[in-house]
Amino acid sequence: MIIIDKFLKNKNLITHPALSDKLRDISIGVLLGDASIQKNTSKTQEKYRLKFLQGANHKDYVLHLHNQFKPYVLSAPYFDCKRNTYSFQTVFHSDFNNLADIFLDANGKKVISVFF
């Protein structure tokens, strides 16, 4: 099933596939670690995205994750030379909402609950 996100880039409608079981499992794993999940606060429809940030010594790991999430990212990983870090983020997608329900408290702060 394809979910259509109305994200305009160069005036083209971009579609992003529904999150596969593999990517859902990877998402849970990285959110148990140091990835973050961010809410789209500027739109009427509530959606979330994942953000990945690692030190330059973990560049290969960031590139691997970027490759896994390629259907959900719009640009290459960003290198911040001041902080010596690599990062990228996914698009806002409604399939990340279930992950937000698990990992964010009522104030939007990431928590690891006894659910696991």
DSSP string, 3-47: EEEEEEETTEEEEEEPPPHHHHHHHHHHHHTT-EEEE--SSSS--
* Residue 4 in domain: no
What is the count of structural domains for the chain? 1
Does pTM surpass 0.85? no
Has residue 9 been placed in a domain?
no
> 8 in a domain, yes or no?
no
Who wins on pLDDT, 14 or 4? 14
Would residue 10 count as lying in a domain?
no
Residue 70: give its domain's CATH number.
3.10.28.10
**Residue 40 domain-assigned?**
yes
Residue 50 lies inside a defined structural domain of this protein: yes
What the block records as the tokens of 103 is 């990992």
48 lies in which domain range?
19-103
Specify the pLDDT at position 10: 42
Asked whether residue 30 carries a pLDDT value surpassing 90, the answer given is yes
pLDDT digits (tens, 9 = 90+) for 42-96: 767 788 999 999 999 999 999 999 999 999 999 999 999 999 999 999 999 989 9
